[in-house]
Amino acid sequence: MNDQFPTRIRTEGARARQAAAQDQGDGVAIEWTALFGLIRRRILPIAAITIGLTAASVPLIMAMPKEYVASTRLIMTQPDYLPRDEASDFNLETELERMTSRQNIQAVIDRLDLPQMPELAPAQPGLASRIVTQLRGWIGSPPPEAPKVVDRTQQRLNAFASRLGVRREGAPDVVALAFMAGDPQRAADVANLTVQTYIDQRNDLQRDQLQTRLDWLRPRIVQQQQAYDDELARAREFQRRNRLTATPGGSASSQTVIALTSRRDQLEQQHASLTATLAMIPDTDRMPLVPLPGEPENLTALRDGLQEQQHALAERQAKYGTQYGGIDLTEERIATTRDQIRRGAEVYGTSVRAALEANQTDMDAVQAQLEQAQGGLSQRNVAELELADMLRSVAAEAEALARLQHQQRALREDADIPAIKVEVLSPATPPLGPQGRGRKVYLALTIVLAGFAALMAVGLSELLDRSTRSGDQLRLTGDTVPVGMLPRLRKREARNLTRLIRTSPEHPFSNALRSMLVMIQSQSRGTVPLSILVCPAGREGDATATASALALGLNGMGRRVLVVDCHPAAGLPEPAQHAPKDDGTMLRLVRLDDMGAAPTTPLEDRIRSLLDHGSYSDSVVIFDAPAALASGVTLQLAVMTARTLLVSTWGRTPRHLARLSAERLIAASDARVLMALVGVNLRRHARSGFRDAPLAAQLSQGQAGRSRVYPIG
């Protein structure tokens, strides 16, 4: 091919640069300290989100009901009527539980007719719940299960309990009770009535309990009185029948029988003790340290000495060992002491046997005297004994009756004493203002929170944005060179692209196009390359609009241009809207599929024929090709054309697609790839923190027209 310079600009170090290039990441890292810069760049979205959230919250704030809280403070203590030695069962925590019990709450609701309160009405399904139910009906899902039967009374009790607050304050017995309602007067009335109802309920409960006890005691007292009367009547009848006038049990014979019986019991206990002592004496040799009941002092002293000797033996063995000479002497002393204890125990056993024989003799004598005394009792004495037993039964019945009557008197005295002492320090009064800070404060807080939410959403969008938004992000490797940016056009301007470039040289798009042509020339040794491949990294229409703009720009410089449409015949029709009109001389449009003598002409021959035609006619051949990742035609064109221009759309083309496309083109052509950023929103880009933001600001303000940049050549 007779081009002005080699169709592919190769460098010997291209592969080395590509292998040694470090991956610079997907883009420029966001500076977290540049918060004000982010707000300045995205002030419109932040304001829109803030206004939208605030507007959505205003109905909720205005619909917030006004709640009034009335509170009362009281002291709850045990009444001071208990004796000092009687323990109190008062527990403040238990009383607080009784104050908030279901019974007390139900009594308050009944006394004030609170079922008509709107605060206690059952909650209705919300808007979200109704919408979900309607959607489920539309999509044909099975109907939800039938709602369970709800106890309305329980719902009212739960609603009342949620609005009632009872807590202990700093002092031990001080309690604060508060109630929240939509009406200030009703809130105060409910708080005061809750305390009064609790006091009434507590006293009524105590009175009911006392009455229950009295009802239980009354028939038992009657029964016990009847039993006492019966026993007393039987004793008097027995006394009258037997003509007993003296006190029973006062005769000499009965007193003698009682004394002999007591003496016999004492001798039997002494006999048992002596028998047990005598049984322990044979075990003295085996257990010398066990004392015997009633042993003499010398035997006790021998046991104490034996214990001290054993302690001394253990200490010497632990200190000097078993081979110490003093060990044998101590053991001999221990054996001697044990023998003395054994002999002393035998001597003591002799005395115990003698005492046991004497005890047996006394027991026999007492038993004989007792039998003689019992045989001498007269019939009167026997009657006196029976009367004494009857009188003891009468005394027991009288004592039981007295106890029951004492309990009855105590319960009747407690009936008029309150169950708990309650002192109201400050009764509840209607509050002057509703609870909370007011709707203005809530609105201001909502605005602040909405602003923070908008700022967070914008910050997250910045972090999650992986699209290409700057020429700095197009410097992927050492073999990629950004050559400029093209502003975004309105639909009307895009449809009249030819008129815009030829008749509006001061337009920012025209200035940016001239700058891009200068950069392309600088990367091509100062001359316009005779063949340029224009392919997109993302959408197909981006490369078509850029190829058309380059063709019109070169045509405006006086160069012949041949635009080759390399898209398949079944491609999208949208790129044709941006294509320039074929004037037949300076600007011509052809299709790659239409080249060649036969449909089977190889692709390489068709491309070469187009390049040769451009060289013979001194025309710049611009190939409008599809994406490199989707078509092998683009890779073949990259090998045979002089320059490759990869187009990325501002804010739409993902960076990883641009990187993959550039790497694929570099690997195919072994040459530098020119990168172009098109569809740039100049105003937004000018507010960004990228290095080419001043250029966007200059273009958007129309300052580029004052210092025109004309292509070289």
pLDDT in tens, 227-261: 989 988 988 888 888 777 655 445 566 677 778 88
Report pTM. 0.48
Average pLDDT over residues 444-472: 83
User: Strand 643-649 and strand 673-680: pairing?
Assistant: parallel
Of 18-32, 283-297, 301-315, 651-665, the poorest mean pLDDT is in 18-32
Bridge-based pairing of strands 174-181 and 164-168 is: antiparallel
Residue 567: CB partners within 8 Å, gap ≥ 6? Answer: 540, 544, 575, 624, 625, 626
What ranges in 415-438 are assigned the alpha helix state H? none
Amino acid identity of 41?
Answer: R
Q: What would the pLDDT profile of 427-445 be if each residue is shown by its tens digit?
A: 888 888 777 666 778 788 8
Categorize the per-residue pLDDT at 150 as very low, low, confident or very high, splitting at 50, 70 and 90. Answer: low
- What digits encode the pLDDT tens for the residues 399-436? 988 988 888 888 887 777 777 778 788 788 888 877 76
What tokens appear for 433 in the block? 């203002």
Which pLDDT band holds residue 6 (cuts at 50, 70, 90)? very low
pLDDT tens digit sequence for 521-550? 888 888 888 889 899 887 766 788 888 888
Place of tokens 């929240």: 180
| Alpha carbon distance 687, 41 (integer Å) | 5
* pLDDT for the residue numbered 315: 79
Please name the amino acid found at residue 156: R
Residues 6+ apart with CB under 8 A from 23: none
Task: Check residue 23 and give its pLDDT.
Answer: 44
The whole-angstrom separation of Cα 611 and Cα 593 is: 15
* pLDDT at residue 134, as a whole number: 66
What digits encode the pLDDT tens for the residues 28-48? 444 555 566 667 767 888 888
Rounded CA gap, 341 and 404, in Å?
Answer: 62
Instruction: Detail the DSSP E strand segments found in 365-450.
Output: 421-426
Handedness of CA 215, 220, 221, 225 (dihedral sign): positive
More confident residue, 400 or 64: 400
Give helix 184-241 / helix 92-99 axis angle, nearest 10°.
120
